[in-house]
Amino acid sequence: MWSAMIAAPRLRVASGGNRFFSLTVQGTVLGVIDRFPLLLGTDVFDERQKREVLSELFDYRPHLMASAALLLVIVQVFLAGARLEAAISGLLVVVGTLLRTLVGRRYQTDEAFGDAGKCARAFAVTCVGVALFWGVTGAILYRAADDNMRIVVLAIGCVFVQAVTLRTYMAPGPTMAQVAILIAFHAAAIVYDGLYALIPVCILYTLFQGMCILALGRVRIRQMRAERETLRLLDELQRTNTELTRANLRLADSALSDPLTGVGNRRRFDEALATMAAAAVRQDRPLSLLLIDVDHFKSFNDEHGHVAGDEALRRVAARLRSIAAGPDHVVARFGGEEFAVLLAGVDAAAARGIADTILVSIGDHGAERPLTVSVGVATARGPDGTAALVGEADRALYAAKRAGRNRVLSHSDFADLQQAPDSLSA
């Protein structure tokens, strides 16, 4: 009875100790898995960055170069007399290289197997398989080689470990598995020779590679986060610049538009005249100008009010825009009730036809409040003509008003332009 009472607490203590040990081991394993996942940055990177990382991991060309170096050692071992070991090692290297190459090619041709998680698992399996092939190969070569070649085998093994660490650190779990497998097989071969003192060196080397993997991964994550932030800022800057450009265009458009009628203002007319006149001289093309004045507009305002007068000006501007709608045509409010229409590449006859169309369109007597207009037409070609274009069109307009209004007159329709006044009030 006493023995049972004494044994029970011991059993509970033992059970508690085992549970504590189990929890400690479980926590350690989970911590290691958390620090060495299959792929870094899955919760941080965008799709482009994930594909960039996966493309680096699945690139099999460095593996081909490493395999070529290992085959050189195999040839030396074969020539030294260990033909069976060399043949087995060569077969393992070829199988591992084919596996790595096929998986890499599959990634390139099959849209990366689908999602990043599937890619990471495929890469992990490939890494473990290739590491086993390489590890067994290294151990066989070490056992079969002479003392000088053993140093070469160990050196190549260290280079492989270092290359794996530097190339695939973005997949910490598979990379650490490769490192541990490669070092373990080489360590087993070394221990077989009785060099037990090198076991701590192998352990420290493995831990060092693990620290390098984690450090490189942290640096790469910071780099890619900075890259994402830079791209975000560039996108934001581009959007801001686009909005600013649109705002500037709207501002420029409002600065060159007449607020009442929506057509160009006098500033717009002056700029367009200078540009179109220079182009007409350079291209040896005609440039025509129509000056349109609303007849008896002051009387119209006195009779119907300024609101009706504003609406009448808007209606006239809309008719002018619909008639002179070509890409080389500019409609502007010249001042008051006067409008101007610039017609690039239009000769005198065609300009007269457009003016007649305007006269008929605006003089529609079926309207509730009919209006009429007088139109002066001038056409120029060459630098001297374009310089006098506005004056000639203004004198033609005066002549049309003097002749009774509601008509079109061009610069060539009357003989004595020099004696006509330069302007006439409405």
Nearest 10 degrees: Cα torsion 212, 215, 219, 222: 150
Residue 373: what are its φ and ψ, rounded to 5°? Answer: -135, 155
Residues making up the chain, counted from first to last: 426
Please check whether residue 387 is in contact with residue 302, taking contact to mean a CB–CB distance below 8 angstroms: no
337, 338, 368, 392: which is the annotated catalytic residue? 337
For residue 339, list its beta bridge partners.
292, 333
Please check whether residue 297 is in contact with residue 337, taking contact to mean a CB–CB distance below 8 angstroms: yes
Q: Which of 362, 359, 356, 355 is nearest to 300 (CA)?
A: 362
Which residue type, as a one-letter code, is found at position 112?
A: A
Please check whether residue 352 is in contact with residue 377, taking contact to mean a CB–CB distance below 8 angstroms: yes
Note down pLDDT in tens along the chain; length 426 residues.
434 444 444 444 444 555 544 444 444 444 444 566 777 666 667 777 777 888 888 888 888 888 888 888 889 888 888 899 889 988 998 998 898 888 888 887 775 455 777 887 888 888 888 888 888 888 888 888 887 888 888 888 888 888 888 877 777 888 888 888 888 887 887 777 777 877 888 888 888 888 888 888 888 888 888 888 888 899 999 999 988 888 887 777 778 889 899 999 999 999 999 999 999 999 999 999 999 999 999 999 989 899 999 999 999 999 999 999 888 999 999 989 999 999 999 999 999 999 999 999 997 655 677 889 999 999 998 777 777 899 999 999 999 999 999 999 998 776 444 444 444 444
Instruction: State the DSSP code for 264.
Output: B
Q: What is the CA radius of gyration of the chain?
A: 45
pTM of the shown model:
0.49
User: In the annotation, is 85 catalytic?
Assistant: no
